[in-house]
Chain A
Amino acid sequence: MIETIHQNLLAKKYSALELTQDYLKRATEKNNELNAFITITKTEALQQAKDVDQLIASGAELPLLAGVPASVKDIILVEGVRATAASKILASYVAPYDATVITKLKEQGMVLIGKNNCDEFAMGSSTENSAYQPAKNPFDISRVPGGSSGGSAAAVAADMSVYSLGSDTGGSIRQPASFCGVVGLKPTYGAVSRYGLMAMASSLDQIGPLARSVADTQIVFNAIKGQDKMDATSTPAKPINKEKNFSNLKIGVPKEYFIAGMNSEVEEVIKNTIHVAEKLGAQIVPVSLPHTEQALAVYYIIQPAETSANLARFDGIRYGQRAAIDNGDEKLIDVYKKTRGQYFGAEVKRRIVLGTYILSAGYYDAYYKQAQKVRTLIQQDFKEVFNQVDVLITPVAPHPAFKLGEKMSDPLSMYLEDVFTVPINVAGVPALSVPVGKTKTGLPIGAQIIGPWWGEETLFAVGQTLEN
Chain B
Amino acid sequence: MSLDIQQIEHIANLARIELTALEQEKFASQLSSILDYVDKLKKTPVTSVLPADGGTFELTNVFRADATSEDVFDVDLAKQLIALAPETDNGQVKVEKIF
Contacts and interface: CB of A to CB of B under 8 A. Distances in A.
Interface stretch (A42-50, A153-161, A350-358): A350-358
Interface residues of B, number: 53
B57 interface: yes
A234 B11 CA distance: 33
Interface in B49-69: 49-57, 60, 62, 64
A402 interface: no
Contact of B85 (A202, A291, A318, A337): A318
**At the interface, is chain A mostly helix, strand, loop or mixed?**
helix
Contact of B34 (A298, A330, A356, A412): A412
Interface string A317-344: 1111110010000111111111011101
B38 A334 contact: no
A263 interface: no
Contacts of B54: 189, 203, 233, 428
B41 A334 contact: no
B31 A353 contact: yes
A235 interface: yes
Nearest to B86: A322
A344 B99 CA distance: 25
- Size category of the A interface is 35 or more
A365 to B, nearest CB: 10
A346 B23 contact: yes
Contact of A353 (B27, B62, B80, B97): B27
B6 to A, nearest CB: 13
A136 B39 CA distance: 35
B89 to A, nearest CB: 13
A16 to B, nearest CB: 30
Given A96-B80, A300-B38, A332-B95, A356 B15 contact: yes
Interface in B80-99: 80-81, 84-87, 93, 95-99
Contacts of A330: 96
A318 B78 CA distance: 12
Contact of A428 (B56, B81, B86): B56
B30 A229 contact: no
A137 interface: no
Contact of B41 (A297, A308, A376): A297
A190 B59 CA distance: 11
B23 A412 contact: no
* Most A Cβ at <10 Å: residue of B3, B13, B41, B87: B41
B96 A190 contact: no
B75 interface: no
B18 interface: yes
B1 to A, nearest CB: 9
Contact of A331 (B3, B7, B87, B99): B99
B49 A341 contact: no
A317 B93 contact: yes
A411 B36 CA distance: 13
B30 A337 contact: no
A294 B9 CA distance: 29
A229 B31 CA distance: 38
B46 A335 contact: no
A245 interface: no
Contacts of B99: 331
B52 A379 contact: yes
A413 to B, nearest CB: 10
Given A297-B39, A341-B17, A341-B19, 5 more contacts: A297-B41, A301-B41, A317-B93, A319-B86, A370-B46
Interface of A: 93-94, 96, 189-190, 202-204, 229, 232-233, 235, 291, 293-294, 297-298, 300-301, 308, 312, 315-322, 325, 330-338, 340-342, 344, 346, 349-350, 352-354, 356-357, 360, 366-367, 369-377, 379, 383, 411-412, 415, 425, 427-428, 453
Interface of B: 3, 7-8, 11-20, 23, 27, 30-31, 33-35, 37-42, 44, 46, 49-57, 60, 62, 64, 77, 80-81, 84-87, 93, 95-99
24 contacts: A233-B55, A297-B37, A297-B38, A300-B34, A300-B37, A318-B84, A319-B84, A331-B97, A332-B98, A334-B96, A337-B13, A354-B34, A354-B35, A356-B11, A356-B14, A356-B15, A372-B51, A373-B50, A373-B52, A374-B44, A374-B46, A375-B52, A412-B33, A415-B37
